[in-house]
Amino acid sequence: MGYARNGVLYINLDNNFHRITVVGNACHFVASITTYNSNYYDPYYYSTHYNYSRYGMRPTTYPTKEMKQYILDFKTANIMDFTVKSVEVILMNDPELYDEFVSLRKKKKKQLKFLYIRKYNEKNPLYLPKRN
């Protein structure tokens, strides 16, 4: 779900709203996401004098915030990490652009992800209904 305010689109992800910076059939946005990391103590440390559960020696998880780039396929509402593979998935809807992108070298694909999203959106414009 999302909303629009003053002509700007926002998307709800991870219980927060994030601004969609590139709007089209393929949308790009950056979001601050909560990830949970495990913190393990030294598995080789052993002592008969400690009660590990009492002193917190068990593995614990803790939340951290991470900035990530995402791509939204407006037609299917799929949200994917902004990777070369996800750009390829979106471009499959336009065989000409897809073939052009797939023929590039790996390094060029990484460099030109934004360009191909822009090309895709130019060739496949997004039409939103006008509000009365």
- φ, ψ at 72 (rounded to 5°): -115, 125
pLDDT at 94: 94
Q: Which residue, among 102, 66, 100, has the nearest Cα to 84 in the 3D structure?
A: 102
Give residue-wise pLDDT tens across range 35-53: 877 765 545 555 555 555 5
Section 76-105 average pLDDT? 95
Handedness of CA 87, 88, 94, 96 (dihedral sign): positive
Of 27 and 41, which is predicted with more confidence? 27
| Residues ≥6 apart with Cβ < 8 Å to 79 | 11, 13, 70, 71, 72
Of 119 and 52, which is predicted with more confidence? 119
Q: Give the integer Cα–Cα distance in Å for 56 and 110.
A: 43
pTM of this prediction?
0.74
- Mean pLDDT of the chain, nearest integer: 83
pLDDT at 130: 75
pLDDT at 86: 96
Of 86 and 4, which is predicted with more confidence? 86
Kindly state the helix (H) or strand (E) to which residue 85 belongs, with its residue range: helix 84-91
Q: Give the integer Cα–Cα distance in Å for 83 and 115.
A: 13
Section 84-107 average pLDDT? 95
Structure confidence at residue 104 as a pLDDT band (50, 70, 90): very high
Q: What percent of the chain has pLDDT over 90?
A: 48
